[in-house]
Amino acid sequence: MSVTDAWTAGGETVGGEMVARLDRVSYRYSPQGPAVLKELSLEVEAGELLVVTGPSGSGKSTFLRLFNGLVPNFHGGVLGGRLEVCGLDPVAQGPSGMASEVGFVTQDPESQTVAVRVEDEIAFALENAALSSAVMRKRVEEGLDQLSIADLRQRPLEELSGGERQRVALAAALVLQPSLLVLDEPTSQLDPQGAEEVLSALRRLNEDLGLTIVVAEHRLERIAHAADRLLYLPASAEEEVLLGEPREVLAKAGLGPPLTRLGAALGWRPVPLTVREARPRRREILEVLSLVFPEPAGEPPKTSSPQEQQNPESLVQASNLRFSYPDGDSPFGRRDVLRGVDFTLAAGERIALLGRNGSGKSTLLKLLVGLLEPEAGRLRVLRQQPRRSSLAKLARSVALLPQNPLRLLFRESVEEELRWSCQIHDVPWEKAEALLQRLGLEARRHAHPRDLSSGERQRAALAALLVSEPRVLLLDEPTRGLDPVGKDRLLELLEEQSDGGAAVVLVTHDVELAARFARRVVLLAEGEAVVDGPVREVMTSSTVFATQINKWLRDPRYLTVQDVLEALPPQGDDAADEESS
């Protein structure tokens, strides 16, 4: 595994105290298995923020678990090379021996909590280190203050949001005052607000306290600009590892926020990471664009799908839908989740359903597939009341992909999953076979669903649903935990479904994704549909829901990188290249 390190002083950190040193480290989970890491060498300097990125299955989690000895002590496998963290050998010390030097936070905020209440959770590591009561109290107070969670100290962890829980996990990892904090995709299971809370806490810890941080992250737009270096691990250990200044690594790997990708496509050096960094380029791009599209504001360059242009068949009509859940705080109380939602859906439509956590998005989807019954209001899906028609029959025409695709997968292999779907819906196997190939799963057909990467799991679940050729496809946060390649593949697939006449509803917090895919946006707030309109109208008249490109150009015609690239004249790349040089 060679490290391309042209942008820093030989890939080694410059001067300063070293916190960790990896010398030609290789790892495989079994002696006969493929190499997950191959001859990886790098050093982490004290006070550095190193961001690790790469596609699913590239070995990011394995790499991070080297620092505290979880690999190989906890997970087994064969480790080669030399490793030194904070002057210690993590393999000899083991995870519990490294606990006071390396703080560790995993991606799932639920499965890493031990105690019931916040304060106990934070004190857990201190108790294990047998510190005195006075020291523990001081450290717990510091942890609560550092992460701004003092108001949560008595709360049961069960009641906290994902972002709050992850900040508690951060505080719990920091109370032993480690020299190095290692985080494995800490925001992958969080909504944008929760992710922002965690990432700003990380930036603060790095900048204010000088804490050394190694973090694996997909949401590069929020952290790449604060990183000192970026490590890109490729899908295969045989490919080239990239390590260096974030802008350069992102440009080379074709990753990053929309402005970075646009900059890379137009050959800008250095590529911008934020709207502020791209500001100087705005005028020149607008000038070029105004030559192509002189109108100040016009119809979007995208065309509607054929189904939308004709008079599309109405598939869902919902009016004044109401629903409530039992209230956890009161023995007999209920909490309103939907308070009179109106919603329609026609064949071929592409809708993005946006809204904060708890605004009722997932509940609305569950009503549409008949998992829940509305308490009031009128709901017709394919001219039927979902709850009163057979769930099996409805599932044939209305498919819902939940946040965790494993909820849909029960069989021993991908092929068995599809065979089961064919059996349930009485569909010939040839259709499933074609789907396996179309979704790029034929090589993984015998794999157990739990052994697949997150993108593959999602495609396997989608394949199981698409066997029956549903007319309505509902997806609940489908990009959570997906890498950029996985996102692109998913979007291609959804566009294909929509072009084939299926109505697609995408529940998401990702405005960039919504802008790339949707034609219509419905915004839920406090259980009501407060906005329902064309994507360009909704997303350009908002400061919260505007895309990065739109925030930069402030022109409703341009929401995505694709919009800009398509609008630029063919020689645009060259012109931009010349400008930048």
Partner 1 sequence: MSSSAPASTAPGAGSSGSSGVAAASSFHTLSWVVWLLFALSLAAMTRNGWYLTQLLLCAYLARRILAGNSSSARAWGVFLRFGIFLALLGLLLALLFGGNGRTVLVELPRLHWTITVAGESATLLDLGGPVTLESLLWAASGAFSLITVLVILATFNILVDHYQLVRRVPAVLDRAATVASIGLAFVPEMVRAQGELREGMALRGYTGRSLRDLGPLFIALLQEGLERSIALAEAMEARGYARRGASWSRGRELLVRGGLLAGLALALAGAVGLRGIGSWGVEGSQRLAAGVALGVGLALLALTLASIRRGVRRSAYRRESWRWQDTVLASVSGAGLGIAVFLWWNQRVLFYYTPFPTASWPPWSPAIALLMALPILPALLGWWSRREHRRRDQLLQTARTAARTVARKGEQR
Q: Which residues between 118 and 137 bind partner 1 (CB under 8 A)? A: 119-120, 123-134, 136-137
Q: Listing from the earlier edge strand, what are the strands of the sheet with 18-28?
A: 35-45, 18-28, 78-85
Please state, in angstroms and as integers, the Cα–Cα distance from residue 515 to each residue in 124, 309, 509, 519, following that order.
44, 20, 11, 8
Return the sign of the alpha-carbon dihedral for residues 235, 240, 242, 247. negative
216 binds partner 1 (CB under 8 A): no
**For residue 520, what are the β-bridge partners?**
351, 534
Question: Which range touches partner 1 (CB under 8 A), out of 169-177, 218-226, 531-539, 540-548?
Answer: 169-177
Closer Cβ to partner 1, 263 or 402, answer by number: 402
x-marked contacts with partner 1 along 369-398 as a string, rule CB under 8 A: x-x------------------xxxx-xx--
Q: Which of residues 259-278 bind partner 1 (CB under 8 A)?
A: none
> Given candidates 34, 76, 156, 306, which one binds partner 1 under the rule CB under 8 A?
156
Q: Which of residues 445-504 bind partner 1 (CB under 8 A)?
A: 450, 464-465, 468
Print the SS3 string covering 177-228.
CCCEEEEECCCCCCCHHHHHHHHHHHHHHHHHHCCEEEEECCCHHHHHHHCC
Q: Listing from the earlier edge strand, what are the strands of the sheet with 3-4?
A: 3-4, 241-244, 229-232, 49-53, 212-216, 180-184, 102-105
Closer Cβ to partner 1, 244 or 470, answer by number: 470
173 binds partner 1 (CB under 8 A): yes
**For residue 84, what are the β-bridge partners?**
21
176 binds partner 1 (CB under 8 A): yes
Half-sphere exposure for 343 (CA within 13 Å, toward CB): 33
User: CB 442 → partner 1: shortest distance, Å?
Assistant: 21
User: CB 63 → partner 1: shortest distance, Å?
Assistant: 15
Closer Cβ to partner 1, 53 or 106, answer by number: 106
Q: Which of residues 54-73 bind partner 1 (CB under 8 A)?
A: 68, 70
Print the SS3 string covering 384-399.
ECCCCCCHHHHHHHEE
Q: Determine the straight-line distance between the first and last CA of the chain, rounded to whole angstroms.
A: 33
111 binds partner 1 (CB under 8 A): yes
203 binds partner 1 (CB under 8 A): no
Closer Cβ to partner 1, 109 or 455, answer by number: 109
Question: Which range touches partner 1 (CB under 8 A), out of 97-105, 314-322, 430-438, 521-529?
Answer: 97-105
Please state, in angstroms and as integers, the Cα–Cα distance from residue 494 to each residue in 48, 256, 505, following that order.
40, 22, 10
CA 196 to CA 190: how far, in whole Å?
A: 9
CB 60 within 8 A of CB 184: yes
User: CB 178 → partner 1: shortest distance, Å?
Assistant: 10
Please state, in angstroms and as integers, the Cα–Cα distance from residue 446 to each residue in 37, 413, 441, 511, following that order.
25, 5, 10, 36
Q: Is the peptide bond before 257 cis (omega within 30 degrees of 0)?
A: no
Count residues near partner 1 (CB under 8 A): 79
Residues 6+ positions from 541 with CB-CB distance below 8 Å:
none
x-marked contacts with partner 1 along 72-91 as a string, rule CB under 8 A: --x-----------------
x-marked contacts with partner 1 along 290-329 as a string, rule CB under 8 A: ------------------------------------xxxx
> Given candidates 420, 491, 551, 565, which one binds partner 1 under the rule CB under 8 A?
420
CA 371 to CA 437: how far, in whole Å?
A: 31
100 binds partner 1 (CB under 8 A): yes
Question: Which range touches partner 1 (CB under 8 A), out of 154-162, 213-221, 265-273, 481-489?
Answer: 154-162
Closer Cβ to partner 1, 9 or 130, answer by number: 130
